[in-house]
Structure 1
């Protein structure tokens, strides 16, 4: 199998793998899927993702493929090309790793602004939503951002976290009070074209000297969400350069710094919902910052 054949016959890829007709090497792929590097007969490499056991949720890989294609269509930030999106497997363009440099960070800021400016028809998306291993409500909404964010991005994962005992009753009460007054934080904007799960691990600093975006939960959302997520879990290298370059291309609204914790709360609640109470402190710290 070579790349031209794969482009026209993606459905045959599992058969070639089953019969060991393609060299497969396991690689690191995150907390949810099993990842491999495939070496094709023409020397091309692919990055593939499969569900670790059993079948993935319906539309799981199709959703990621749709998000990648949508971000890629903005023709701004580098995004891996999708070669095959099957029920049990996703095959993507292989990207060689490089190092994070200030120049690459500045380029990322400019590119990300261009992607966001490509816009979206509404909040949400026309495809099924997933973030990490969890479903995400992408039902298109023409309403205001604040109420949509509270109802579709915060409340569901707060409820799951509470049900699983990852947050205390006191934690839940603090977040619920924030949701009740979310309009006070301002920052209303039309929907931007966002990555949606842009923690530092989903930025691939590549050998070509640019930062690529991978593993999206893409949808129409608020552009500040992507920027806030870049600061999570230690932050991307040269974060100040990313933000500065972004702000030069598309200036951020007044008060955006005071809203960082609000936007981060989404992904932090996803972590308590999916991975448990070890992320409880981060959720509470964000909520307490917003209470001040």
Structure 2
């Protein structure tokens, strides 16, 4: 059965009579599309093919946490099961300065309103189609090293991309994290905050989708936006965010380091790496043999 047919069938099973479905592109996990129902309304639906897991339950819970705990704007969940997630339909973002200022206020509110005494989350999560280890940890440097960087090294495609000395350099970098990243309390974070996970509602306000939530350093969210493709107007995001949630000195220099998690994930998923291997090699270069011991 075609992807469109699978999605239409599972929508019918859940009580959503779809007249048509316009398939979405770009996702690494779900078959997804914008469905027009018989009453003329629209919903966004996602299903899994060849995978049975709690991906959608975790996503729905993450959206609820962002909205209910921190007041972030997230899509309304209309249906959730292991086979199907149905959300309210959203719109493309405007990408003007006012939009990014609004987003900065939302994300700053998220990061400053929900602070924990532990890093992690009460359940495992997902990043793409791979598990995100959220086991609780009091030490942020240990959490980021073990749960967000080193966990990727055994993945087959990561092993194939880096030789033994490069992997050792990653380990040395992780050992040096307390010297590289200032200690900060963990905040509730979106966890996958790149531009493609930011849409708009009917009023044009920013909406956050596809979270991978946990309590960790706020700069991890910022690194996703900083290091991923984004429009020029998004520079205003960082200016406004810095006024509301002051950043430690040298934050821009830390962005590539904190982005390592996403770079390793991209390689492990087998996507077009977009230069991820070279970007990682640049970050770990000082920790290769002959660099930092």
What TM-score, normalized to structure 1? 0.86
Counterpart Cα distance in 2 of 1:48 and 1:179: 39
Counterpart Cα distance in 2 of 1:35 and 1:80: 15
Change (3 A) 1:236 1:17: farther
Conserved in 2, the CA contact under 8 Å of 1:59 and 1:128? no
Counterpart residue number, 2:28 = 31
Decide which of 54, 61, 73 is 1:59's aligned counterpart: 54
The alignment partner of 1:235 has SS state of coil
Counterpart Cα distance in 1 of 2:15 and 2:54: 25
Counterpart residue number, 1:186 = 181
Deviates more, 1:231-240 or 1:260-269: 231-240
Change (3 A) 1:68 1:226: same
Deviates more, 1:270-279 or 1:246-255: 270-279
Structure 1, unaligned runs of 5 or more: 1-12
- Deviation, 1:44, is 2.6
Q: After the TM superposition, which residues 75-86 of structure 1 pair with which residues of structure 2 at under 5 Å, given as runs?
A: 76-86=71-81
Counterpart residue number, 1:231 = 226
- Deviation, 1:78, is 1.8
The alignment partner of 1:127 has SS state of coil
Conserved in 1, the CA contact under 8 Å of 2:59 and 2:212? yes
- Aligned Cα RMSD in Å? 2.5
Conserved in 1, the CA contact under 8 Å of 2:122 and 2:136? yes
Structure 2, unaligned runs of 5 or more: 1-8
Counterpart residue number, 1:123 = 119
Counterpart Cα distance in 1 of 2:86 and 2:106: 24
- Deviation, 1:261, is 1.5
- Deviation, 1:138, is 1.2
The alignment partner of 1:231 has SS state of helix
- Is 1:21 aligned to residue 28 of structure 2? no
Counterpart Cα distance in 1 of 2:230 and 2:186: 24
Counterpart Cα distance in 1 of 2:228 and 2:158: 25
Structure 1 runs of 4+ off > 6 angstroms?
289-292
Counterpart residue number, 2:264 = 269
Counterpart Cα distance in 2 of 1:59 and 1:269: 23
- Deviation, 1:286, is 3.0
Conserved in 2, the CA contact under 8 Å of 1:161 and 1:272? no
Conserved in 2, the CA contact under 8 Å of 1:113 and 1:246? yes
- Is 1:172 aligned to residue 167 of structure 2? yes
- Deviation, 1:82, is 1.2
Counterpart Cα distance in 1 of 2:18 and 2:157: 45
Decide which of 53, 62, 69 is 2:64's aligned counterpart: 69
Counterpart residue number, 1:218 = 213
What TM-score, normalized to structure 2? 0.85
Counterpart Cα distance in 2 of 1:151 and 1:207: 41
* Number of aligned residues: 277
Counterpart Cα distance in 1 of 2:183 and 2:24: 38
Counterpart residue number, 1:244 = 239
- Deviation, 1:75, is 5.1
Change (3 A) 1:115 1:163: closer
The alignment partner of 1:97 has SS state of coil
Change (3 A) 1:211 1:168: farther
Counterpart residue number, 1:104 = 99
Conserved in 2, the CA contact under 8 Å of 1:36 and 1:47? yes
Conserved in 2, the CA contact under 8 Å of 1:105 and 1:238? yes
Conserved in 2, the CA contact under 8 Å of 1:38 and 1:46? yes
Counterpart Cα distance in 1 of 2:212 and 2:242: 23
- Is 1:140 aligned to residue 141 of structure 2? no
